[in-house]
């Protein structure tokens, strides 16, 4: 049912959740599809403690660790999108495979395509969104696009396809374990810092290598006036101190 419909309709989702909640009140227990959808939403929502549809509030109410209970409209765009995405997949799985019962999330197979997986997600959340989806829906194969180095850094290298402008593609030799800056430089071939600041550091290290430590220290003072003590400055200062100590 609607397996290739790209839309996620919040109104339809709330209507279904409300109906299932009323059925639960009448039966005294949740039906398996309702259980599956709530479990999927909880598994894909960062720091979610509990969630359920509130008859009194007429909306989904989510308890977030450290923030208490929040109605759906007070959640961030990223939280709303992930809840709706997880609910949509779980709902379709339950509708298509009722015979799987309480194993519907674990055993439903299929293919899901997601455009811009990192959209609206905090960088911290981007670090585990892939594992959240894979652990919640272990039998589903996901194809997702992303420009996020955080998402790439948490995805096994053999599951990454790098698309080139000329239509060709490659795969990285490593991804998991790389820092964000390493992913930017080595996989995405993008600068990992502001270009003007990068040029300052390149000039500094050339000065250090030339042995003109007086000029190098003046450049370090200038860079520190930006208000930040970069690791590169510690490296340059330590190198000069070591050279001077060896000469004394």
pLDDT values of the chain reduced to their tens digit, one per residue, 248 residues: 455 555 567 888 899 999 999 999 999 999 999 999 999 999 999 999 999 999 999 999 999 998 899 999 999 999 999 999 999 999 999 999 999 999 999 999 999 999 999 988 999 999 999 999 999 999 999 999 999 999 999 999 999 999 988 989 999 999 998 999 899 989 998 887 788 888 888 899 999 999 999 999 999 998 888 877 788 888 889 888 888 888 87
Whole-model pTM above 0.75? yes
Does residue 2 come out as left (phi exceeding 0), alpha (psi in the -120 to 50 range) or beta? Answer: left
Residue with structure tokens 């519907």? 104
Residues 6+ apart with CB under 8 A from 23: 31, 34
Measured in whole angstroms, the distance separating CA 109 from the mean position of its chain's CA atoms is 23
Query: With contact defined as beta carbons under 8 Å apart, do 157 and 182 qualify?
Result: no
Does residue 120 come out as left (phi exceeding 0), alpha (psi in the -120 to 50 range) or beta? Answer: left
Residue with structure tokens 């990454």? 160
């Amino acid at each position: 049912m609607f397996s290739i419909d790209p839309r996620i309709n919040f109104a339809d989702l709330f209507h279904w959740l409300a109906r299932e909640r009323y059925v639960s009140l009448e039966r005294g227990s949740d039906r398996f599809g309702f259980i599956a959808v709530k479990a999927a939403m909880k598994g894909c929502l960062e720091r979610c403690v509990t969630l359920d549809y509130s008859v009194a509030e007429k909306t989904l109410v989510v308890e977030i660790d450290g923030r208490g209970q929040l109605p759906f409209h007070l959640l961030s765009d990223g939280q709303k999108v992930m809840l709706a995405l997880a609910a949509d997949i779980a709902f379709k799985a339950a509708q298509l495979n009722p015979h799987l019962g309480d194993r519907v999330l674990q055993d439903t197979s299929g293919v899901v395509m997601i455009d811009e997986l990192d959209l609206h997600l905090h960088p911290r959340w981007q670090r585990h969104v892939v594992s959240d989806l894979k652990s919640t829906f272990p039998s589903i194969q996901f194809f997702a696009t992303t420009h996020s180095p955080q998402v790439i850094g948490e995805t096994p290298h053999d599951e990454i396809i790098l698309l080139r402008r000329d239509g060709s593609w490659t795969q990285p030799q490593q991804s998991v374990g790389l820092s964000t800056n390493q992913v930017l430089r080595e996989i995405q071939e993008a600068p990992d810092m502001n270009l003007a600041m990068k040029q300052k550091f390149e000039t500094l290290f050339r000065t250090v290598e030339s042995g003109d430590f007086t000029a190098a220290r003046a450049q370090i003072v200038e860079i520190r006036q930006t208000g930040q003590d970069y690791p590169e400055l510690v490296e340059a200062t330590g190198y000069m101190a070591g050279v001077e100590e060896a000469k004394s």
